[in-house]
Structure 1
Amino acid sequence: MSDLLGQVYAAARPYLESLSTRPVQDGAALELLESLGGPLPAEGSDPGEVIERLLRVGAAAATTSSGPRFFHFVTGGVTPAALAADWTAALLDQNAFSKISSPFAHEVETVALDWLRSLFGLPTSWGGALVASATFANFTSLGCATHWWGARLGADTAADGLSGLPRMPVISSGYVHASARKALQMLGHGRTAVTVFARDGAGRADLDGMRAHLTGLGGAPAVIIANAGEVNAGDFDPIAALAGLAEEFGCWLHVDGAFGLFAALSPRTEHLVEGIERADSIAADAHKWLNVPYESGFALLREPARLGAAFGMPGAAYLPGPGDPASGYALLGSESSRRARSLPIWATLAAYGRDGHREMVERHLDLTQHLAALVDAAPDLERLADVPLCIVCFRAVPPGVSDLDEHNRRLGAALLADGRVYAGTTVYDGRVALRPAIVNWRTTAADVDLFVEVVRELNVALTIK
């Protein structure tokens, strides 16, 4: 065992030291992936040879999404403390099901959740659950909303399901994310359950339309999804205004703050999340701007007791049930057996504190404005939206090109194939665009400069062709 772990340790240093200079993706190295396949071995191989092959192929072919030049998908890196704690989580191999399965994992999770609550300035009465991703954070939050909605109609959806009930009304702006729709899909409401009210092609919230719709429901309970950090340009719904609507019409307000919730850390951007403390639930990703390893999301609830009501397990003689002092977080979310994913969160917050994470957010805000300035100064690039947070939405506009959407699709594909830096395309207000996001603790101005240089270089090459 120690020899195998020694192989991983020996490979870690050169890999980590290469992150700041290596390409995000080496296309030639992807051919090595074939060496991992073939029939299932009957007798197996020497474990040392197996780990050597995995490390050799992985170090060459892995996407360096934890490096400073990965600007795709709003993906963070991994702080040193978080990485070491994640290794510790694998070493200790705790089942964070309950207090009885691991008092250690339960306590670390309790502290980590309280620190996250404090980090975002939420009242001490709030609680939450650690989950695998923002999608599961939305699932957990909207699962509590579903149970609340059913109770308003005199039903217990946790016990009896949705049969016989009307469809749960859900409204949002055009910023509503696919993960929220997927959560509603998994909860049995359907991905089309959301009624969108947008006042323009970008998706900005139509508050008047929402008010008219809620009035038309005649007092029936409904769910409002507010979006803190839209993925194409980093824009925000007016959370305080939506909180006012929720309070006026008796709605459940859920805030999807996958990465935008971290705006609360900076005095420059905290106004963007004004009103989040008036929400009923908040979903976010720790493996984005908190810079901890996958899989790490969290759901925060104004009334944390709703988690147990919605997700408590049916009784089993050998398992601790609701109210049992030996129970734990498995009864507050969708997973039963659970990895101790709290350890990296606890470690990065303990190591760098509130001030360290605020400084990181501030630095990323500066880098994002630097990127926006480079785009604005380039005659062959066009910014398409304001830059409120950590995303710059822009497209290439080379002279003489009539179909800019097709050109930018080709540019996005060329950027990913090139591999030196990484960012994909989206469609913003009907136009194909790039939308690089800066949330990695390693990213510097030099990385941003290189990104713009590569984009412009490939833009010229495609235009000449």
Structure 2
Amino acid sequence: MGDPVGEGAAAGKALEVVFRAAGPYLEGLAERKVHESADDGVLGDLGGPLPERGVGGERSIEQLVEVGVRAATHSSGPRFFHLVVGGATPAAMAGDWATSLLDQVSGLWLASPLAARVETVALGWLKELFGIPPEFGGVLTPSATFAHVTGLACARAWWAERHGVDVTAHGLSGLPPLPVFSSGLVHPSTRRALQVLGHGRDTLRTFARDDTGTVDLEALEAALRALDGAPAIVVGNVGEVTTGAADPLPELADLAARHGAWLHVDAAFGAFAALSPRTSHLTDGMERADSITADGHKWLNVPYESGFSFIRDPAWQHRAFGDWGVPYLPGAGEEQINYNTLGPESSRRARALPIWATLKAYGREGYQQMVERHLDVAAHLGALIDQAPDLELLAPVRLCVVCFRYRPPGVPEERLDELNTRLGEALLADGRVYAGTSMYRGRKVLRAAIVNWRTTTGDVELLLRVLHDLGPALAADLR
């Protein structure tokens, strides 16, 4: 096969390959291992020298799908509890296929009024879902990290202006270090965003009362007071990845207001706490933030890549990113929005389409029911751990993350970290269920994040059965 124009009317055959594979693959996710060990031979089939003469779209995709089904980590299934990763609802997946089919240039209204309008609608629906005031600006990003970059770039423009500098035009030269304060719950993606923006990841200062990361409000206020009126950024966190904990946003908002600081909230998956009366208190005060980060490929269950950035005053988006200033990229108006002037990307996929599709398909009620079910599943897992004599729940189950460790009788305390490290490795190698390890209060822990739309109580019960299959032999070596 040479020039792809030669495929012509047969171009749809490659898509038919994916369509034929999709049904059996999706229907089998409930029984499939999360990961099958792929030997080098399977993955090696993808390599070799660049073909001089191609095999054509249909044969190429046949090979990709055949290898992919065997070698992929099936993170869209119900038992991927590692990281904080949702799957893709049926409507979101179909919306993503439509995105590839239509292949819109989503940054400019001129290039795609469809993509711009769908993004505007999707952002409005997300604000309704989370209880964010409608006057907030927003933009879709590839990830929560990029959403942090967006929100903190707006905060930086605000901060620099208070020092008399247009940082977008003139950069950071001559400016003092940017003061950024948070609790011990802060996620590394916030530091990464500061690193990307030129402020250094380690300049962020944390104020915690103890090793749980709980914010020390008195120490934080003292640090703000010591700035003597100079502007600063305060980062609040909703949904810490190891325990699901949250900062007290009303108190942080009060502090920011008293000291003239910018409040940035990381609610990557915690924003969805707003959907349940049981957890909505965790997002109380979020509407008072100056910028908010949330994520779609977590609890919204849309495909990668999907992040959201919301800004109280949309003017800061224009000041931080602005028009491109070249004649072939025309400006737009209040209704005809150019989203590539509101965030860090120029070329942008129309990632709003799967978001629109899933919210249209299931609505507020459907997402509330899913969140409530996940809260029930997490609470069920926590209760089973509490009842098990060889497991220890290390933090309250506040949201959708369960933090615990394996602690069988006879294993010395000083060897429990090693045991849980080995158990975590064995769990991933086994492949039936995926859950990660982390550190909490100086201890190696297991953690399960429950955000996939397919997950039920049976899936977390299987997690414990697998741990009890694998754990005893590992523990015997350490007694």
User: Structure 2-normalised TM-score?
Assistant: 0.95
Which position in structure 2 is the counterpart of 1:382?
392
Query: Does the 8 Å CA contact 1:32/1:61 hold for their aligned counterparts?
Result: yes
Alignment correspondent of 2:164: 154
**Equivalent residue number for residue 90 of structure 1:** 100
2:85 corresponds to 1:75:
yes
Q: Distance in 2 between matches of 1:27 and 1:461?
A: 21
User: Shift of the alpha carbon at 1:125?
Assistant: 1.0
Contact 1:258 1:284 (C-alpha < 8 Å) held by counterparts: yes
User: Does the 8 Å CA contact 1:308/1:322 hold for their aligned counterparts?
Assistant: no
User: Do residues 111 (structure 1) and 121 (structure 2) align?
Assistant: yes
Please say if residues 105 and 350 of structure 2, whose CA atoms lie closer than 8 Å, have aligned partners that are also in contact: yes
**Alignment partner of 1:411 is 2:426:** no
CA distance in 1, matches of 2:420, 2:365: 39
Q: Where does 1:215-364 land on structure 2 (aligned, <5 Å)? A: 215-321=225-331, 328-364=338-374
1:367–1:30 distance in 2 versus 1, CA, 3 Å:
farther
Q: Provide Cα deviations, 1:231-254, integer angstroms capped at 9, x if missing partner.
A: 110000111100000000000000
Task: For residue 393 of structure 1, give the secondary structure of its aligned residue in structure 2.
Answer: strand
Which among 206, 215, 218 is matched to residue 216 of structure 2? Answer: 206
Aligned residue in 2 for 1:128: 138
Q: Distance in 1 between matches of 2:105 and 2:176?
A: 38
Equivalent in the alignment of 2:6: none
Which residue of 2 is the match for residue 457 of structure 1? 469
Structure 2: runs of 5+ lacking an equivalent: 1-10
In the TM superposition, 1:426-445 aligns within 5 A as 426-445=438-457
Partner SS state of residue 303, structure 1 = coil
CA distance, structure 2, for counterparts of residue 218 and residue 314 of structure 1: 37
Question: Helix, strand or coil for the counterpart of 1:459?
Answer: helix
Secondary structure class of the residue paired with 2:445 = strand
The residue aligned with 1:423 is 435
Letter in 1 for 2:438: T
TM-score by length of 1: 0.98
Once the two structures are overlaid, the 10-residue window that deviates more, 209-218 or 35-44, is 35-44
| Deviation digits for residues 211-244 of structure 1 (CA, Å, limit 9, x no counterpart) | 1111111111000000001111000011110000
331-340 vs 117-126, greater mean Cα deviation: 117-126
Whether the 8 Å contact between 1:86 and 1:343 is mirrored in structure 2 is yes
CA displacement at 1:446 relative to structure 2 = 0.8
How many angstroms does 1:304 deviate by?
A: 1.6
Contact conserved, 1:307 with 1:333, CA < 8 A, in 2? yes
Instruction: State the AA in 2 paired with 1:429.
Output: R
Cα distance, 1:317 vs. partner?
1.0
Q: Deviation at 1:43?
A: 2.1
What SS does the aligned partner of 1:94 have? coil
Query: Which residue identity is paired with 1:461?
Result: A
Q: Could you say which residue in structure 2 is the equivalent of 1:397?
A: 407
Q: Return the offset for 1:29.
A: 5.6
Letter in 2 for 1:243: A
Contact 2:38 2:70 in 1 (8 A): no
Aligned-residue sequence identity (percent) comes to: 59
CA distance in structure 2 between the partners assigned to 1:243 and 1:324 by the alignment:
30
Alpha-carbon shift at residue 47 of structure 1 (Å): 2.6
Q: Deviations over 1:265-304 (max 9, x none)?
A: 1111000111011100100101100000000000011112
Cα deviation for residue 93 of structure 1 reads 0.2
Distance change (3 Å), C-alpha of 1:392 and 1:31: farther
Q: Deviations over 1:10-48 (max 9, x none)?
A: 010111011111000001466411111122222222332
Q: Which residue of 2 aligns with 1:447?
A: 459
1:30–1:61 contact (8 Å) kept in structure 2: no
Letter of the 1:116 counterpart: L
What is the DSSP-based 3-state SS (H/G/I as helix, E as strand, rest coil) of the residue aligned with 2:45?
A: helix
C-alpha displacement at 1:322, in angstroms? 6.5
Distance 1:297 1:397, change over 3 A: same
Cα distance in 1, alignment partners of residues 337 and 471 from structure 2: 57
2:6 aligned with 1:6, yes or no?
no
Q: Is the contact made by 2:194 and 2:201 (CA closer than 8 Å) also made in structure 1?
A: yes
The Cα of 1:97 is off from its aligned counterpart by 1.2
Q: CA RMSD in A?
A: 1.2
